[in-house]
Chains A and B, each alone.
Chain A
Amino acid sequence: MTAEETLIDDLLAGKHRALARVITKIENRSPGYRELVSQLHEHTGSAEVVGITGSPGAGKSTLVDKMAATYRERGETVGVIAIDPSSPFTGGAVLGDRIRMASNVGDMDVFFRSMSARGSLGGLSTATTDAVKALDAFGKDRIIVETVGAGQNEIEIVKTADTVAVLVPPGSGDDVQMLKAGILEIADIFVVNKADMDGADRTVKELREMIHMQDAGPMAGHHGADAIESSDDTEDDDTGWEPQIVETVAKTGEGVEEFLETLEKHAVWLEETGELEEQARQRYGAEIRTLLREDTADLIETELEARGGLDEYIDAVLARETDPYTVADEVLAPLAECVERQRDR
């Protein structure tokens, strides 16, 4: 038995150390990690995955802590992946989300793992997807992926989740501005956390307005102006899911039950409408594409090395003897030819 097989067996047998080590290998992209993840795949598919995002200080970690505690009370096991930024200069990071996990200390059935956004953009979403698979195969009932919501990268990450909740702290117009820039589209549920603070009502109102503007917009599909009338319905008609707004005070646990109920509702909706399968299809499609993109990039890198690196090309481009497009064509042409030949067979 190889070390990898032992590791997989140990993971499936419920050894925490093996799970931790598999995630490390995924993060490090250690030799053999691809085989590990391939083998895990058949054991996945039973966990419900929730993505939590929001600006720094919105209360994500505290909410995740309370969520985990509530799941545990119900007898479910929980896996958490918390992603923090890393320094673009040194690669170093301080991963501090663990400090907030005060309600679950000493409970090994809450598996909490901090990850840092190491370098590459695409790499992190691949690593997150794979780490979720490891937790899923391990047998976790619930998996929570927590990340700072600040841009495209984070949106990619939370796409690994079945349900996405966006946290909005009250009374900050700027955050609502941020939402307009794109996070609105990914939220299935908005959580107005710190709802005991001034301005929470206003934030809820603003969010509600935004959701309706979205509904009435040209992209709204079958949602018409009449959707506004039935704004408080959970599902306004046949297939649509209108983003829900929930108020919580994560620190005291207030509203957490309601939030979990809303998550549950969304899970049911996903199941009933077939959206769950559709999402999975899209996710696997994206995953395959990402892997292909990365692998072809490697292939090209190898080809470049075989040709003695980029320097000569760069010299030629600098001397105006050729240009970047021509160089790209030149390097790629034999590869394209080769692929074509293979396809024709």
Chain B
Amino acid sequence: MSTEGEQRTIRCLVAKVGLDGHDRGAHVIARAFRDAGFEVIYSGLHKSPDEIVQAAVQEDVDVLGISILSGAHDTLVPKIIDGLKEYDAFEDTLVLVGGIVPDDDREELYELGVAEIFGPGSSMQDTIDFVRENAPER
């Protein structure tokens, strides 16, 4: 169907933030999301929280996946979430974190509003399923 037929596609921003050059995981995820039929916007390396917020707002993504392997999640993630709130974009964006997050830090991130954390060994299919099930209704 054409004009009236709705064509909903899940849009994701895969973001690398801060001084962290490890982008293999982000690339793998971007590719897997693409093959799952999602539209993936990749941020590129070394982005500041502001840039991530700008991209998430303008691209109106359903899902923001933040990849951090530098250990700076406890400073960078709050900044991003605050930025999203500033533009009224937090409520209907599914925020995910991927990378190395010590168990002790997880609770804090969940409290901030991170929906799920995917550490090493996470299954790609589980991640995709999680996105499909939890992508915000708009």
Contacts and interface: CB of A to CB of B under 8 A. Distances in A.
A123 B5 CA distance: 11
B85 to A, nearest CB: 11
Interface in A77-128: 86-87, 90-96, 98-99, 105-108, 111-114, 116, 118-120, 122-123, 126
Contacts of A196: none
B57 A93 contact: no
A120 B44 CA distance: 29
B40 A94 contact: yes
A295 interface: yes
Given A20-B57, A20-B59, A30-B6, A106 B51 contact: yes
A111 B60 CA distance: 11
Interface stretch (B27-35, B100-108, B115-123): B27-35
A113 B59 contact: yes
Interface string A1-45: 000000000000001110011011001111100100000000000
B24 interface: no
Contact of A123 (B2, B44, B51, B54): B2
B55 A29 contact: no
Interface in B1-50: 1-9, 11, 30-31, 33-44, 47-48, 50
Nearest to A302: B1
Nearest to A112: B58
Contact of A98 (B7, B38, B39, B41): B41
Nearest to A23: B60
B7 A92 contact: no
Contacts of B30: 94
Nearest to A114: B41
A116 B7 contact: no
Contacts of A30: 6, 8
B129 to A, nearest CB: 15
A95 B89 contact: no
A207 B138 CA distance: 49
Counting contact residues on chain A (CB < 8 A from B), the size range is 35 or more
A315 B60 CA distance: 46
Contact of A28 (B8, B34, B59, B89): B8
A226 to B, nearest CB: 49
B88 interface: yes
B3 A294 contact: yes
B116 to A, nearest CB: 21
A298 interface: yes
B2 A94 contact: no
Given A20-B60, A92-B40, A31 B9 contact: no
A317 B7 CA distance: 32
Contacts of A118: 7, 9
Contacts of A298: 1-5
B88 A99 contact: no
Contacts of A16: 57-58, 87
B42 to A, nearest CB: 6
Interface of A: 15-17, 20-21, 23-24, 27-31, 34, 86-87, 90-96, 98-99, 105-108, 111-114, 116, 118-120, 122-123, 126, 291, 294-295, 297-298, 301
Given A28-B7, A87-B34, 5 more contacts: A16-B87, A17-B89, A28-B6, A29-B3, A105-B48
21 contacts: A17-B87, A17-B88, A27-B7, A27-B9, A29-B4, A29-B5, A30-B6, A31-B4, A91-B9, A91-B37, A92-B37, A93-B40, A95-B42, A98-B41, A105-B48, A106-B54, A113-B58, A120-B2, A123-B7, A126-B3, A294-B2
Closest 7 CB pairs of A and B: A20-B60, A99-B44, A92-B34, A294-B2, A90-B37, A294-B3, A24-B60
